Amino acid sequence: MKTLISAFEELLWEARKTFPQHRTFLRARQLALGFVTTWGRHTISRALCAIHRQFEDWSASYRLFSRSPWNPAGLFRPVLNKCLGLVDKTALICFALDDTALRKSSKDIPGVSYARDPMSPKFHPNLILGQRFIQATFLLRPQGLSGPARSIPVRFTPAPPPAKPGKKASEEEQKEYRQAKKTNNLSCQGAAVIKDLRAELDVLGAVERTALVVTDGSYCNRNVLRNKPDRVEIVARTRGDITLFALPTSEQLVGRGRRRKYGDELPKPNEIRKDDSKFPWREADVFGAGRLHNLRFKVVAPVLWKSGAKARQLRLIIIAPLGYRLTKRSKKLYRDPAYLLTTDLTTPVETLIQAYFDRWEIEVNHREEKSMFGVGEAQVWSDKAAPRVPQFQVAIYAMLLLASLMSYGPTRTESYHKLPKWRSQTERRPSIEDILTLIREELVDRGISNSTTGGQRASRPKRMPKAS
């Protein structure tokens, strides 16, 4: 059985071709182990201290991100290739897509701008200063419907908004800015990430396999649905008041004049949810929040969305609100209903709903990357280094999650630390804290100095003379 550190080193070694020189790869490997083992703030200097490099010259480590010509997307290629091997060749390749913001303290950092704080209350939106990234993750279900999904990041692309010109800007500059707001906004950059993933799958040999991308409402618009590449299907959450149309009937197609593209206007999705006579409910078992749920859903297909997807046929999926209780004796409460639009007309609806439930795992990735890996805490100001360091950290986080699956499987085995007595002792997947604790112990057993120097013991500083 592989150890966690050996599986992690295997993924790191497969990414060596990303770097132009072998010595550059060795320095990146040292920093990867430093980010894994460091405590507190995850800056480059703290990572160097974790691998006993604090008494050496730091400039080469900073130049790795500011000058060295390597592509951050190459770090995710071995992760994506391994994930493809863990999925059946006849199944869909499921991805989740979402954006996140890394808080920063200065607007002078490249790529930093003001954005809406997603944690602010709906009745009082707040603004934060930070970097915006689009993240794509590979959704794995190693236990089927008997266990939770695992989301492995495969892209972490910077998506800054267009820079707004000053008050003294010329009319031409203002015109260019207005055009950039239409062609370089968040949804357009998300569509570019989807195309990049499709091209990467073709390079890795998955030419004939279909990719399913699950997104939230930010990407349910014309920029994504109209620019969808071939062999890619979209599942996106939508509003309950959008205007949909049916296909034109044969009677509507007969007559003189221009051929009709749209039929009669359908009721709003929230009206369809309340109408049980024309649109009956169906049931399905879906895994989410640690257990199986029997939920109700409706399907209306095919439908047309004139302002979004034009004449492209879609399916509307309506999920009834799930009930829950805060305590065993409390009143039963209900979550909000969900309205989904998908371009996939052939895959079973139950599979699409399960993929949408698994999309929540990308939110877990955002939390773990920021709280446990300190993504966004590095203090770098170079144009290249500012986006590269977070991408490097997310790639290391993805390799660590995948290494735990390769070495010890999807469940929490005896190799991990025992849970405290106050927690449930039932089998569950290991958390990122469990994985970090285990790899740190394995590095200590092997000797972290030998791990980062290739067998040579790290040099220690000379003892300073005692003060008189």
Q: What is the pLDDT of residue 324?
A: 78
Asked if pLDDT for residue 260 goes beyond 60, the answer is: yes
Q: Name residue 242's amino acid.
A: I
pTM comes to 0.91
d(CA 392, CA 31): 10
Q: What is the pLDDT of residue 453?
A: 61
Which pLDDT tens digit goes with each residue over 359-402?
999 999 999 999 999 999 999 999 999 999 999 999 999 999 99
pLDDT score for 286: 92
DSSP strand E in 193-311: where?
Answer: 211-215, 232-238, 282-288, 291-303
pLDDT at 140: 95
More confident residue, 282 or 258: 282
- Could you report the per-residue pLDDT of 94-110, keeping only the tens digit for each? 999 999 999 998 988 99
pLDDT interval class at 427 (50, 70, 90): low
Q: How confident is the model at residue 325 (pLDDT cuts 50, 70, 90)?
A: confident
Helix or strand run (H / E) with residue 403: helix 385-408
CA-CA distances (angstroms) from residue 162 to 113, 177, 181? 10, 7, 6
Res. 220 pLDDT band, cuts 50 70 90: very high
Give the model's pLDDT for residue 331. 83
Per-residue pLDDT for 466 more than 60? Answer: no
Integer Cα distance of 24 and 391 in angstroms: 17
Mean pLDDT for all residues in the chain: 90
pLDDT at 241 over 80: yes
| pLDDT at 463 > cutoff 50 | no
User: What is the distance between the alpha carbons of residues 373 and 447, in angstroms, rounded to a whole number?
Assistant: 22
For 299-304, the CB contacts below 8 A with 24+ separation are 299/349, 300/244, 300/266, 300/272, 301/345, 302/247, 302/345, 303/244, 303/245, 303/246, 303/266, 304/244, 304/245, 304/246, 304/247, 304/261, 304/262, 304/263
Q: Is the pLDDT of residue 296 over 80?
A: yes
| Per-residue pLDDT tens digits for 61-96 | 999 999 999 999 999 999 999 999 999 988 899 999
Tell whether the model's pLDDT for residue 403 goes beyond 90.
yes
What is the pLDDT confidence band of residue 292, given thresholds at 50, 70 and 90? Answer: confident
For 418: left if phi > 0, alpha if psi spans -120 to 50, otherwise beta; the answer is: beta
Beta-carbon count within 10 A of 458 CB: 15
Asked if 272 and 279 count as a contact pair (C-beta separation under 8 A), the reply is yes
Share of the chain above pLDDT 90, in %: 70
> What does the alpha-carbon distance between residue 33 and residue 452 come to, in Å, rounded to a whole number?
8
The β-bridge partners of 113 are: 130
Structure tokens at 448: 């972290």
Q: Is the peptide bond prior to 161 cis by the omega test (within 30 degrees of 0)?
A: no
For residue range 116-131, what is the model confidence (pLDDT) as tens digits? 888 888 888 899 999 9
For a pLDDT cut of 70, what percent of the chain falls above it? 95
Residue 186: burial class (beta carbons within 10 Å; 0-12, 13-18, 19+) = middle
